[in-house]
Amino acid sequence: MSASFPALRLRRTRASGWSRRLHAETVLTPADLIWPLFVVEGQGVEQPIPSLPGVSRWSVDGIVARAKQARDLGIPCIALFPNTPPQLKTDDGREALNPDNLMCRATRAIKDAVPEVGVLTDVALDPYTTHGHDGLVDAAGYVVNDTTADLLIHQAVNQARAGADIIAPSDMMDGRIGLIRAALEGEGAHNVQIMSYAAKYASGFYGPFRDAVGSRGLLKGDKKTYQMDSANAEEALREVALDLAEGADSVMVKPGLPYLDIVVRVKQRFEVPVFAYQVSGEYAMIEASVAAGAGERDALVLETLMAFKRAGCAGVLTYHAAHAARLLHG
């Protein structure tokens, strides 16, 4: 073999840890993470979620403690999701408009105790409805768009008044971003961001989340008339374009790993901040793999999160946020 072969050895820069760090093309830090948390009524309450091992619902005081933990770990933002008591769920989801609902109380408590941590609030009616849908349902079982959007406006303003930093509409109603942006501007909430769930797919990966918010078993039918078909990619680009034109500051792709191709296309097309939600089913699969002895948690967590960053994500919503932040701190 010739002494000159090969002239360039790509393994050369991989030969030592310091060199691998120096040549890394993608960097993952705790500042890339958003930590989803579930809020429940009570005081001093922690309710483990069986389908999400390692994840619990917390009463407001526990949520505040998690927010302080996020601050100390360098996680810049938490996302809140309420487990509304069954007696407060109605067909029209009116509890979403209550200024003293779980979401609003938790938001105020966090902003009072840890104002430097961002709070992202979910805008959709499914945690508040008896039928489990994200909007109002007509006699035929169809989720009506415009009437739902009117309620989402009030829900968003309600959350902004409580101190939300980012409003995140996850409902997938047409036109709601522009309506919410106009309402926030009318409130003088000029710096409240909108992170639109712009490409949210009707996915089989949401089951544990529905357990967490108490909507499992309530859902009548499915959500395919408003969430996207998993076969479609061009449609996702149209959804993103519309939401950006209506005033979204950032957009989200949901679920995460099965839709990295969508993340890449959105980032390349629009050059805007793109986020992905590593959803409950993705988290549960990692934990099931660990429990079965088929994988090692630390490696799986960091590798999957790096995949999001490599695909172009500005950040990732993940239930592994606190664990990942500890790993990244070394």
Tell me which residues are annotated as active site.
200, 254
SS in 3 state form for 213-231?
HCCCCCCCCCCCCCCECCC
The reply, when asked if residue 239 is annotated as ligand binding, is yes
Q: Phi, psi at residue 199, to the nearest 5°? A: -120, 80
The Cα 164–Cα 119 span in angstroms is 5
Q: Phi, psi at residue 7, to the nearest 5°? A: -70, -35
Nearest in space to 177 (alpha carbons), one of 155, 161, 199, 196: 196
CA within 13 Å, CB half, 307: 15
The Cα 207–Cα 209 span in angstroms is 5
Rg of the chain taking only CA atoms, in angstroms? 21
Q: Phi, psi at residue 190, to the nearest 5°? A: -65, -30
The Cα 150–Cα 230 span in angstroms is 28
The Cα 68–Cα 52 span in angstroms is 22
* Binding-site residue positions for Mg(2+): 239
